[in-house]
Amino acid sequence: MTYAHFAPDGPLLVFGGPYSNLEATIALLAEADRRAIPRSHVICTGDVVAYCADAEAALDVVIQSGVRVVMGNCEDSLAARAEDCGCGFGEGTACDLMSAQWYTYASRCVRDDQRRWMGALPRRIDVDIAGRRLAVIHGGAEKIADYVFASTSDLEKARQLALTGADGVIAGHCGLPFTQIIDDRLWHNSGVIGMPANDGTPRAWFSTLTPTIDGLLIEHHALAYDHTAAARKMRERGLPEGYATALETGLWPSLDVLPGIERSATGAALAPPRTIWPSS
């Protein structure tokens, strides 16, 4: 596994899943600038390319921005010219059928130099912050496309945390923001910016991790952007209507991947709390 490492001297901004959503990507970078967080202190948990209309352009913006990026399963698949996105959707499910459409489109759009960039991304970035070491990964500690949700058991999260050897994990992939502290270890997911969080609003999500005298302050933030324009471009380019509609309604077109607890929360507007992870 390819690793990278850095130690920010201030707040860290985390976001996941730009998903080829150019409007959201530009809005996120503007938000980092507004907060005076340098690009070297901004990290993406992967899947720069996926559902939306601007695979090539979104990649260019991310590459040129200077933010740090962990390889997602989409980057892994596109770099290898694989036949699908590697999510492991059940054959014939709604997610499987729709992913075949957007993945084919995205693979047709990205350039060879972008594939080389994706293939060279680290699969893990270690971050030293507030006296702790955090392992930034895409999905799970063992597999890049593993889904870890808020409802995933503490026992399973503790097992995966132990595998990393770190004090905490920052992960992506599942598309939903949450923060949990398990036996003084952290599991944090910022959510994604390229799709809403299935909460009935078009908002996207990112997070900030700020060292304080009391420990690490972890905050989830909603991101507003021109979701109407992003949806319109998806329709113009013949991408799946379900995902275009999701940008507007905030509701996912399929709940195939969701555990029961997350599925039952469909349409309930999120308000993730602030969390202080006390200093060790």
- pLDDT digits over 152-182, tens only? 999 999 999 999 999 999 999 999 999 999 9
Mean pLDDT of the chain: 94
| pLDDT at position 90 | 67
Check pLDDT > 60 for residue 207: yes
Percent of the chain with pLDDT over 90: 87
Position 242 scores a pLDDT of 94
Q: How is the chain classified by DSSP, letter by letter?
A: --EEEE--SS-EEEEB--TT-HHHHHHHHHHHHHTT--GGGEEE-S--SSSSS-HHHHHHHHHHHT-EEPPPHHHHHHHTT-SS-S--PPTTSHHHHHHHHHHHHHHHHS-HHHHHHHHTS-SEEEEEETTEEEEE-SS-SS-TT----TTS-HHHHHHHHHHHTSSEEEE-SS---EEEEETTEEEEE--BSSS--SSSS--EEEEEEEEETTEEEEEEEEE---HHHHHHHHHHTT--HHHHHHHHHS--S--TT--HHHHHTTTPPP-PPPEEEE--
- 204-229 b/e (C-beta count within 10 Å ≥ 16 → b): bbbbbbbbeeebbbbebbbbebbbee
In terms of residue numbers, what domain contains 143?
Answer: 3-278
- Residues 137 and 124: their CA atoms lie apart, in Å, by 5
Say what the pTM is.
Answer: 0.95
Question: What CATH number corresponds to the domain at position 199?
Answer: 3.60.21.10
Q: What is the pLDDT of residue 229?
A: 98
Find the largest Cα–Cα distance for the chain.
Answer: 52
pLDDT, tens only, 5-62: 888 989 999 999 999 999 999 999 999 999 999 999 999 999 999 999 999 999 999 9
Q: Per the structure, how many domains does the chain have?
A: 1
Element (H, E) at 106: helix 94-109
Residue 4 has pLDDT above 70, yes or no: yes
Q: Is the pLDDT of residue 184 over 60?
A: yes
Sign of CA dihedral 251, 252, 256, 259: negative
pLDDT (tens digit, 9 = 90+) per residue, 87-130? 766 666 667 677 788 899 999 999 999 999 999 999 999 999 99
Cβ contacts of 244 within 8 Å, gap of 6 or more: 231, 234, 235
Q: Which two tokens stand for residue 173?
A: 């992939």
Residues 277 and 186 sit within 8 Å (Cβ to Cβ): yes
User: Mapping DSSP to helix (H, G, I), strand (E, B) and coil, where does residue 100 land?
Assistant: helix
pLDDT at 1 over 70: no
Residue 151 pLDDT class (50, 70, 90 cuts): very high
